[in-house]
Amino acid sequence: MAPPAKRDLVVVAGATGHVGSCTVTELLAAGYAVRAVVRSSGATSAAAAGRLQAAGAEVWWGDVTKPATLRGCCDGARAAVSCLGVR
């Protein structure tokens, strides 16, 4: 993979899960700016969002099952990654 150009933005959906949080960590370490999509439900989401922000990611509160919450989420992004799981 080529190095990112001056903080290219990558959106990560499912950023609070195991794979998603590892993806966010690796992207930040590689020099990318990261917008982490976090579902706004409960204390678990809030705690995970806090960890993502502390790591350097921007948190976007949204729900992939509610398209209106994602309007503008990918604005300015170079790429989007889905780490969504199925339950």
Q: Could you tell me the residue ranges of all domains in the chain? A: 9-82
What pLDDT, on the 0 to 100 scale, is given for residue 1?
A: 60
Q: What pLDDT score does 2 carry?
A: 65
Q: What is the largest CA-CA distance in the chain?
A: 38
Could you confirm whether domain 9-82 is CATH 3.40.50.1100? no
Q: Give the DSSP H/E element, type plus range, for residue 43.
A: helix 42-55
The pLDDT value recorded for residue 84 is 93
The predicted pLDDT at position 11 comes to 98
Q: What is the pTM of this model?
A: 0.88
Q: Is 2 left (phi over 0), alpha (psi -120 to 50) or beta?
A: beta
Q: pLDDT of 2-51, one tens digit each?
A: 666 668 999 999 999 999 999 999 999 999 999 999 987 777 888 999 99
The separation between CA 27 and the C-alpha centre of its own chain, rounded to angstroms, equals 10
